[in-house]
Structure 1
Amino acid sequence: MNTERPPTPQKMILLGRLLGAFGVRGQIKIESWTEPREAIFRYQPWTLRDAAGVERELSGARGKASGKHLVATLPGVEDRDQVEAMRGQEIFVPRSALPPPSAGEFYWVDLEGLRVVNVDGTDFGTVSHLFSTGANDVLVARGDRERLIPFVDPDYIRSVDFEAGVVTVDWDPEF
């Protein structure tokens, strides 16, 4: 299985979201999807994107864990009103800012767009996206129809070949 693939620098990765004010001194609650969640502060500068798609770059965020979220201070944000105006903005970084995955691990974004074929050569289309169910991750292949394939290696995911651009699965085409 060839797992080396150069990162796609132009691809932006969603790492978290600004949730709202924490106190009155301009601190903000952040939902982070990094592991560990505090690692989000390592990947700066951030690109903050609001619901209208307007983006701005931010560097110098600092924070710590507090309950199930992070509490952060952002440069230039001094009061609760400024924080509330930022509520809901998403935190993106370029894919190139992330460290290389460990052997046998993948960033979901690196799998998106790869062809999906089963062990008999049936073409299932391409990887649209992945999602987590709690029990396991699920690969969504879109081609003639959408297929949801548990991302369980080696039971269903037989190989990921970035060089060839193919994920080989052991999955019934009728399922």
Structure 2
Amino acid sequence: MLITIGKVQKTHGVKGEIKIEPLTDHRSRFSGLRRVYLTSSRGESRECAVRSVRYMDGTPVLLLKGYDSPEKARELNGWLVQIPQEEAVPLPEGQYYWFELVGMEVLSEAGEKLGTIVDIFETGSNDVYVMKAGRKEVYLPATKDVIRQIDRAAKRMVIHVMEGLLD
């Protein structure tokens, strides 16, 4: 499975370099890249060797093999930059990638099946997990008061059902 770490913004310079909008909290993760997968909005995908990576005002700038001119590199504007899931930066205990959470089964502390995580979004204070429960969506604040346990291996999340949470 591929995970998205950035999006091609535009070309830079005369060598065919591309500026990347990072879609990761780990901007430095671009430094060690040897290859990336690029995917267009039409679903076209290409594997590319990374010739060099540098940063310009904190923005990653990549030079890819086979894209040695601005004209050639311009074809990639808007494409997603992806890597294999196993190359993701390991997170500290208690932190999770969104792709790990989407699809998880949600259970109450009593073991009752409540639904499935279908989406996640950010707010100012915490993330919110969107749980599909039958025909409705329930917003679960990603706080210790609500989220009691996350089991990556079992793809299961246990929550504390506070009064009014499922209404």
CA distance in 2, matches of 1:79, 1:87: 13
Match of 1:151 among 142, 149, 156: 142
Structure 1 123/48 Cα, relative in aligned 2: closer, same or farther at 3 Å? Answer: same
Structure 1 61/123 Cα, relative in aligned 2: closer, same or farther at 3 Å? Answer: farther
Question: For 1:85-104, what aligned pairs fall within 5 Å after superposition?
Answer: 85-104=75-94
Contact 1:44 1:93 (C-alpha < 8 Å) held by counterparts: no
In structure 1, list runs of 5 or more residues that go unmatched: 1-10
RMSD over aligned Cα atoms: 2.1
Q: Which residue of 2 aligns with 1:111?
A: 101
CA distance in 1, matches of 2:140, 2:74: 40
TM-score under structure 1 normalisation? 0.81
Structure 1 29/161 Cα, relative in aligned 2: closer, same or farther at 3 Å? Answer: same
Contact 1:50 1:89 (C-alpha < 8 Å) held by counterparts: yes
Percent of aligned pairs with the same residue? 27
Structure 1 43/148 Cα, relative in aligned 2: closer, same or farther at 3 Å? Answer: farther
Structure 1 15/142 Cα, relative in aligned 2: closer, same or farther at 3 Å? Answer: same
**May I ask how many residue pairs the two structures share in their alignment?**
164
- SS of alignment partner, residue 107 of structure 2: strand
Question: For 1:30-69, what aligned pairs fall within 5 Å after superposition?
Answer: 30-67=20-57, 69=59
TM-score under structure 2 normalisation? 0.85
What code does the residue aligned with 1:138 have?
Answer: V
Shift of 1:19: 0.8
Structure with greater proportional strand content: 2
